[in-house]
Structure 1
Amino acid sequence: MTDQKTVVILGAGWAGLPLAHKLLKYTSSKTAIEVILVSPNSHFFWNVAATRGLIPGMIPDESMFIPIATGFDHYAVDLFEFILGRATDIQSSSNSVTILTNTGGSRTLQYHQLVIATGSRLAGGLPLKPIGTHEETLAAWHELQANVSRARDIVVAGAGPTGVEIAGELAAKFGKLKKITLIMRGDVPLESSSDVLSSVRTTLDKDLQKLGVELIRKTCVKAVEAGDDGKTQVLILDNGSRVITELYLPCHGIRLNNGFISTGFLDPQGNVNIDDNMRVVGTENIWAIGDVSNAGPKQLTVTDNQIVYLAGALDTALTGKDSIAPYQPVKKTMIFLSLGRKYATGQIGSWKLWGALVSYVKGRNLFVDTADGYVSGKHLRHSSM
């Protein structure tokens, strides 16, 4: 169709993948579109379960890594294309983006609308998020599992949600078989999150201690050196002390996947700078969503709200409707933390959740049973736009 509009989505993670499904499922029935989804990953990484999955034998690979392409098989072939590759340059003046494919080739895609949803990765390099292609991520994942299995002493640094859950999961699984230590900058877990209730922090602190996790407070890792035996690592803390461990898991900080984006599109912190319609500032047809943008907190719990909004905004732009209402960020704090299958806590707004409820909803299997449906677009909030 000569009047078909092309939407290119860069990134097939928690934001880009469901956004593609919503456009294909709802907007394609209103106007002629083609959605091109670009990602170096052939598989979706269900990393909400990575804090438990890094323990060998807990969650099989096929439940953690779900093929993306097959999740789109039910759409007409002229509506959708999945490209394995990554963007290297955006040419906004010509409405085009250059893609380096996983096979080494180069493609230039023309777009009517472009969405940047490339997300982030952990600053310390742990493969708890994709680190490259599926093959590269899977190899690093297996290496991490092998290291966890082998080590008798494991130190987790960073008492944010990821670090707390990993320390809890490791202690819940191994008990006294392995020494698990959590290093935190504050006096209690999640102290840097000002919107988290003190009762939630206290519960996490007590539960970690019940599980046998050693807590080192009010310090952080300043440097890491190789041990004299060639098998251990020496962590130099900013309080002057040293900790020797067989396995160090840094779980603090993220790096945005923004290397291909012009600095003119970024704010001083490196986020893609968007306006109140989630458009990239200074553009008419480039949008950004998720961790790579400054749409809000870098939390999975707020992503769904962004997807619903941007799908509606794109629907309006593609169908020629008059105006787009401003995006309203989620202001309600939502956290759900599980430390193994027994201990859990959470918060919605100013309400602390019962641990038993969080344990039942999340702690049992970390939503692994919903992964296939998510990747195939069966679990989309708001059925119409």
Structure 2
Amino acid sequence: MEGGGSNKRVVVVGGGAAGSLIARTLQFGADLVLIDPKDYYEVPWAALRCMVEPAFAQRTLIEHKDYLGNARVVTSTAVKVSEREIVTSEGRCIPYDYLVIATGHPNTFPTTRSERLKEFQESYEKIKASNSVLIVGGGPTGVELAGEIAVDFPEKQITIVHKGSRLLEFVGPKASEKALAWLTSRKVQVLFNQEISLEQLDDTQTEFVTSEGVKVRADCWFNCIGKGVGSSWLTEGILHGCLNERGQLMVDEHFRVKGKENIFAIGDITDIREMKQGYIAHKHALLAAKNLKLLLEGRSESDLHRYKQGSAIAIVSLGRKQAVAQLPFLTTIGYIPGYIKSRDLFVGKTRKELGLDPSGL
């Protein structure tokens, strides 16, 4: 068992958009420990740009130690929660007074920043060497990747295979139609209501057959199907009864896991019915941090802040200069939403929130 310090210990599990920000915010008010399988934070909404411009990743991959000068980082995977400690995959037991779960979605990213940089370089080389590219999945990841490739490599033949009846099903039909029109104007082929079995694919494969029997030829392919919730590690332990049927942690308006006074959950793992987006995960982190600070000061539950959902806003990048945006009273496409998001993908803003130089210098 590991202990230390006279301050109350806050353990944050997950170093993604929500976990990194709450750790940064709380590091000087508690004995803070961040547990993450990686030694870095990756700005998730910028990853697709890094596949066509690997140098961009120098700003989007941030080692945890660079923004956590007063915290301890444990590079490991949490596997179990007990009443007062977290157990890691190596069998380490890390005690906590307060726990924040921010494990979002499962991923297979490498452990080190240098290895992830190498992955982006390999993806770039693969795209550059290919005449045709297959993208499996027409959600925001698939659409944004298609946009990045279509703009930077307009000579490539791009095919999206999507099991749904329209692109970007997390937003309204108008945004879907505008995105489709933009893609088809750049000769991107989209096959709807079809799937490709990923279990049978390997990196060398160049010929594919969809569930409807359509043959697709591509020199390389990318899986852009959305991932599930990163909660499988919670099915055993004290929080198994706090998961809903989707595997999400049920939370109250203060972000405390229901029935647990000292355990919080933030980000995409929560059961709050709203768009799962980075800026919303940041809102979760900042409000939960305020509440934890109050509890660390000995304040009562009546002092805690309540979360209020805002209007749903979504901006999907279409290459470097354009985007499609769904706002509360308007759906639009072109250079104006692109100016908001697509130029820098909020990387400078995110770095600044973590107390770092926005330019990455």
> Does the C-alpha gap of structure 1 residues 145 and 341 become closer, same or farther in structure 2, counting only changes over 3 Å?
closer
| Distance (Å, rounded) in 2 between the aligned partners of 1:162 and 1:226 | 19
**Residue ranges of structure 2 left out of the alignment (5+ in a row):** none
When you count strand as a share of all residues, which structure comes out higher? Answer: 1
Question: Are the aligned partners of 1:154 and 1:181 in contact in 2 as well (CA < 8 Å)?
Answer: yes
Q: What is the SS of the residue equivalent to 1:336?
A: strand
Task: Report the CA distance shift for 1:299/1:131 in structure 2 as closer, same or farther (over 3 A).
Answer: farther
CA distance in 2, matches of 1:13, 1:231: 31
CA distance 1:140–1:235, shift in 2 (3 Å) = same
Distance 1:248 1:2, change over 3 A: closer
SS in 1 for 2:74: strand
Q: How many residues align?
A: 349
1:61 equivalent among 34, 57, 61? 57
Tell me which amino acid in the other structure corresponds to 1:7. Answer: V
- 1:49 correspondence with 2:24: no
Paired residue for 1:314, among 289, 292, 295?
A: 292
Task: Give the 5 Å matches for 1:90-239.
Answer: 90-92=81-83, 95-100=84-89, 106-121=91-106, 130=109, 132-134=111-113, 137-176=116-155, 178-190=156-168, 192-193=169-170, 196-222=171-197, 225=200, 231-239=204-212
Instruction: Return the alpha-carbon distance in structure 1 between the equivalents of residues 308 and 272 of structure 2.
Output: 7
SS of residue in 1 equivalent to 2:291: helix
Amino acid at match of 1:320: G
Higher mean alpha-carbon deviation, 273-282 vs 33-42, is at 273-282
Given the superposition, is the C-alpha separation of residues 40 and 156 from structure 1 closer, same or farther in structure 2, using an over 3 Å criterion? same
Q: Distance in 2 between matches of 1:329 and 1:242?
A: 48
Pairwise CA distance, 1:187: 4.2
**How is 1:215-364 mapped onto 2 (pairs within 5 angstroms)?**
215-222=190-197, 225=200, 231-261=204-234, 262=236, 263-296=240-273, 297-324=275-302, 327-353=306-332, 355-364=334-343
Contact kept in structure 2, 1:186 and 1:218, CA below 8 Å: yes
| Letter of the 2:228 counterpart | R
Tell me the residue number matched to 1:383.
Answer: none
Distance change in 2, residues 1:233/1:282 (3 Å): farther
Paired residue secondary structure (2:48) = helix
2:64 corresponds to which letter in structure 1? I
Identical counterparts, % of pairs: 25
User: Contact 1:38–1:85 at 8 Å: present in 2 too?
Assistant: yes
Shift of 1:374: 3.3
Distance in 2 of aligned mates of 1:259 and 1:226 = 25
- Alpha-carbon distance in 1 for matches of 2:42, 2:138: 23
- Residue 294 and residue 133 in structure 1: after superposition, are their counterparts in 2 closer, same or farther (change >3 A)? farther
Residue 312 of structure 1 deviates from its aligned partner by: 2.1
How far does the alpha carbon of each residue in 1:213-239 deviate from its partner, in whole angstroms, 9 at most, with x for none? 112223232456469xx9434333222
**What SS does structure 2 have at the residue aligned with 1:284?**
coil
Q: Distance in 2 between matches of 1:353 and 1:69?
A: 40
The offset of 1:353, in angstroms, is 4.3
Structure 2 residue matching 1:275: 3-state secondary structure: coil
- Show the counterpart of 1:20: 23
User: Which amino acid in the other structure matches residue 22 of structure 1?
Assistant: T
Q: Kindly provide the CA deviation profile for residues 315-369 of structure 1, in whole angstroms up to 9, marking residues without a partner as x.
A: 2222222225574352522111221123322122232246322111212122333
Question: What per-residue deviation string (whole Å, max 9, x for no partner) do you get for residues 4-62 of structure 1?
Answer: 2111111121001111222235xx2xxxx21111212222112221122111x453432
Does structure 2 conserve the Cα–Cα contact (< 8 Å) formed by 1:224 and 1:234? Answer: no
Using the TM superposition, give the Cα deviation of residue 171 of structure 1 relative to its aligned residue in structure 2, in angstroms: 0.8
Residues 128-154 of structure 1: CA deviation (Å, up to 9, x unaligned): xx4555455445444333322222211
In the alignment, the residues of structure 2 paired with residue 216 and residue 222 of structure 1 have an alpha-carbon distance, to the nearest angstrom, of 15
Per-residue deviation, 1:68? 1.7
Determine the C-alpha separation between the residues in 2 that align with 1:309 and 1:15: 11
Q: Deviations over 1:54-76 (max 9, x none)?
A: 11x45343223122202223x4x
1:89 counterpart (62, 80, 103):
80
TM-score (structure 1 length as normaliser): 0.81
Shift of residue 2 of structure 1? 7.3
Q: Is the 8 A contact 1:153 1:247 kept in 2?
A: yes
